[in-house]
Amino acid sequence: MKVQGALVFVAAIVATALFGVAASGAPGLAGADGCGGIDSAEALFPAAESVGFDARSGIERLATSAEQGRPCGRWATTYTGHGGAPASSRVEVDVFWSRADALSRWKVIGLRSVELFADGARLATTEQYEVDAAGHVIARESLLISVLGNVFVVSDGRWPSGVTPAIQDEVRIHRRIHAAMHRASAGIARPNDRLLVLDRRAGQYQYWYGPRPRWPWGDALDAFGLPTRFSENGTLCRVSWAESGVTVEFASSRPRPCADEQLDGAEWHGLSLYGERWHDVRGLRVGDTVARVHKMYPRTRFVRSRGKRWLALRWVRNEPRIIRLAVATRAGRVTSIEVPATWDED
């Protein structure tokens, strides 16, 4: 489902207001893996009444183990009572060194019923029955796990026989935790030097990791926040961030490429940098004259492909038809810096 304008959050995050960590070292911020000085996660857990439960126990800090990956800290609490019924849900929040560590914990548990959100969060649920010696059902048990950024959340609910499990309220706990992460990061400007390092990064967006990107969609959300525009063309989805002045193209193998479930597994397929102050390592900038571009890249040539006309600056060695870097121009000036995935000149 497309989650826009509702609970859509930045998949980055865990920052100063929440953990007392400087933004430059906050886990979850793109390009800044690490644990910093995390000492509390109490602000993450929602009040009991806000998620349909009657009470919430005190928040306890749990011991960490290297067997869990690279944990920075673990906290847990238990929600009890649901409309007077003797239900309970124990919720644990694990903050890891990096998103990769959090995803490793997700894979260990391995639930298959997965819901994906536009912020890059993923949530999975399952239920099972507890029976007595006579085989009678005495309770239903629920297990929910979610990952957003470098934070892993797991909740274990118990609903006695005769009590209808309110799984939606357990889901609400997870999404409230995600919302708290978002609020904690909202006041912190994500640093963006607007520098393009070809085949490495565009600002904070590390779009290329060797032969394949690590997680193109999630990394783009980490770097630029909530998208402002989606457009589809076949199996390609173009996603724009107006404030950052960037458009990233994602390629899927199925129709509806802008659907959350497609974006989550999509491949990076090029980007366009059109905002002010975008520049590359040679000093090329949006707004430069074509004459200045020729001085920095003497071997430039105009190319046309797929209905577009660009000024090509760099191409694959010994493959001059495959463009690696180009600029779009209008009235003799650069309007955008273009980094295609693979672009064959007509």
List the structure tokens of 91. 């919720």
The reported pLDDT for the residue numbered 26 is 33
Check whether the bond before 323 is cis (ω within 30° of 0): no
- How high is the pLDDT of residue 156? 95
- Per the DSSP assignment, residues forming a β-bridge with 285 are 279
Question: How far apart (Å, rounded) are the C-alpha atoms in residues 147 and 99?
Answer: 8
- pLDDT tens-place string over residues 201-226: 999 888 875 544 467 887 787 788 77
Which domains does the chain show, CATH number per domain? 16-186 (3.40.1000), 195-344 (2.60.460)
CB 22 within 8 A of CB 188: no
Distance from chain centroid for Cα 129: 34
Q: Tell me, what's the pLDDT at 8?
A: 28
Cα separation, 319 vs 146, in Å, equals 44
Spans in the chain with pLDDT lower than 50: 1-33, 37, 186-189, 211-213
pLDDT score at 306: 65
pLDDT computed for residue 212 by the predictor = 46
According to the model, what pLDDT value does residue 214 have? Answer: 63
pLDDT at 281: 95
**Amino acid identity for residue 13 in this structure:** I
Residue-level pLDDT at 189: 40
